Amino acid sequence: MEYYLLKHRPNLKNAEVQLEASKSESNRALIINALSGNKSVLYNLSNARDTQTMLRLLKSDDEVLDVLDAGTTMRFLTAYSIFGDKPILLTGTERMQQRPIKILVDALKKIGAKIKYKGEEGYPPHKVKPLQEQKSETVKIQGDVSSQYISALLMIAPSLPQGLNIHLKGKIGSRPYIQMTLDMMKLFGVKATWTNNTIEIPKQDYKEYPYVVESDWSGASYWYSFVALADEAKLKLLGLRQKSLQGDIAIVRIMNQLGVMSTFEDDGVVLQKIPHSKSFEFDFTDCPDLAQTVAVVCGIKGIHCRMTGLESLKIKETDRIKALKKELKKFKVKLKEVEPGVWEIKSKFEPTKEVIEVETYEDHRMAMAFAPISTHQSIKILDPSVVNKSYPSFWEHVEMVRDE
């Protein structure tokens, strides 16, 4: 298997990193634009494979759309396909076929769509037929499995003949991603009202809007981690804004406690080292993609850490809890569930001369979250091309930033 060898390098150069653009914003902008007849020019779309796949599939005439391992692409295209002129079969990687879709499919069926599973009930692949008639203008949807189902419904809602009222049930995970969807819909001229647990979207047309995608805050988190763990570091991350639509801007607050200060400038944010707290507690319900970054930083720095809100990690690119546990253990870091839903990091990490191999489980975030450990000791990241899902230039940037 291919690997990327990162020899121990404690310091970073004083460098500027042109981050990749957000795949979450890009994929929303692409769906919204497709729903409005592609009348807008979209700037700075992401080179992430998830976005390039969305772009390619939106242009495709095929009856089979393979989203590979892209969750948003799968969920958003499933909803979008009800407006097609022929049945569409949606499929993906083996892992994608284990990631649930029933909650979204049930909501679309309630609206009147005809959808059939082609493999296991509740999971892709599934075939979506064009919507003949809207049967209901109200759907109830569970919010604690994936917010992507809700975002998918929200974006198609104004294009439905009767609009849509969405009632959210129970705990809502990844809420900032729902807000991002609504904020972007608003920029494209669509009005929605969110009161208590109900979001109402009347039928209306998306307007033209020249959307500029911001850099990716989830991708930024790995540079915060590099700075937190390095002996000497000062980095500037380009293309990030202090007022972001992305919930993963939470990394600014988190890292302020874990040893990184952020200073916003016109064209990005400057990261500098500051003293860190001895212990840290955080609920990741709103920003699950940051959990791996934080677990690694706390483990390596020996910061006692309590993490909650990790429920959705099990159904992402891999079971991230299982993967984290296994790989952190190689560094004498324990991730343990101390009570239901509460995870603690306990560390006995000491750098060794040995090169430790990190498995990545087809998960880009495993590769990127573990790479900063190279500031303390040599590591090998297996299957390094996994980063292409969200951040294809990651290794190039690592090469550029680490000091020889």
Ligand X SMILES: O=C(O)C1=C[C@@H](OP(=O)(O)O)[C@@H](O)[C@H](O)C1
Ligand Y SMILES: C=C(OP(=O)(O)O)C(=O)O
Q: Which residues of 18-29 are buried (b: 16+ CB within 10 A; e: fewer)?
A: ebbbbbbbbbbb
- Pick from 66, 69, 289, 327: which binds ligand X (CB under 6 A)? 289
DSSP state of 48: S
Does the annotation count 289 as an active-site position?
yes
Q: Are 380 and 6 in contact (CB under 8 A)?
A: yes
Out of 66, 216, 289, 383, pick the active-site residue: 289
Closest CA to 379 of 300, 323, 307: 300
Assign 273 to helix, strand or coil: strand
Of 69-77, 118-126, 151-159, 254-262: span binding ligand Y (CB under 6 A): 69-77
- Pick from 126, 301, 316, 402: which binds ligand Y (CB under 6 A)? 316
Q: Which residues pair with 195 in a beta bridge?
A: 198
The distance of closest approach from Cβ of residue 363 to ligand Y in the complex, given in angstroms and rounded to an integer, is: 8
Q: Which residues pair with 305 in a beta bridge?
A: 280, 345
Of 60-68, 114-122, 144-152, 368-376: span binding ligand X (CB under 6 A): 144-152
Rule CB under 6 A: is residue 159 a binding residue for ligand X? no
User: According to CB under 6 A, which residues from 11 to 70 bind ligand X?
Assistant: 24
Detail the residues annotated as belonging to a binding site for phosphoenolpyruvate: 23, 71, 99, 148, 320, 365, 389
Assign 384 to helix, strand or coil: helix
Residue 214 touches which of ligand X, ligand Y, none (Cβ within 5-8 Å per kind): none
Closest CA to 373 of 322, 276, 301: 301
DSSP state of 11: B
The distance of closest approach from Cβ of residue 136 to ligand Y in the complex, given in angstroms and rounded to an integer, is: 27
User: According to CB under 6 A, which residues from 265 to 284 bind ligand Y?
Assistant: none
CA distance 155 to 216: 21
Residue 70 touches which of ligand Y, ligand X, none (Cβ within 5-8 Å per kind): ligand Y
Detail the residues annotated as belonging to a binding site for 3-phosphoshikimate: 23-24, 28, 146-148, 174, 289, 316
- Pick from 53, 174, 293, 347: which binds ligand X (CB under 6 A)? 174
Sheet of strand 356-358, all strands in order from the earlier edge strand to the far edge: 3-6, 379-382, 356-358
User: According to CB under 6 A, which residues from 153 to 212 bind ligand Y?
Assistant: none
Assign 312 to helix, strand or coil: helix
Rule CB under 6 A: is residue 147 a binding residue for ligand X? yes
CA distance 83 to 32: 13
Detail the residues annotated as belonging to a binding site: 23-24, 28, 71, 99, 146-148, 174, 289, 316, 320, 365, 389
Closer to ligand X by CB, 214 or 289: give it: 289
CA distance 42 to 38: 10
Phi and psi for 382 in degrees, rounded to 5?
Answer: -80, 145
CA distance 14 to 61: 47
Rule CB under 6 A: is residue 72 a binding residue for ligand X? yes
- Pick from 51, 148, 159, 377: which binds ligand X (CB under 6 A)? 148
Closest CA to 376 of 354, 398, 359: 354
- Pick from 92, 125, 158, 173: which binds ligand X (CB under 6 A)? 173
- Pick from 4, 123, 177, 331: which binds ligand X (CB under 6 A)? 177
* Locus of tokens 């930024």: 220
- Residue positions annotated with a catalytic role: 289
Residues lying near ligand Y in the complex (CB under 6 A): 70-72, 289, 316-317, 365, 390
Residues lying near ligand X in the complex (CB under 6 A): 24, 72, 146-148, 151, 173-174, 177, 288-289, 312
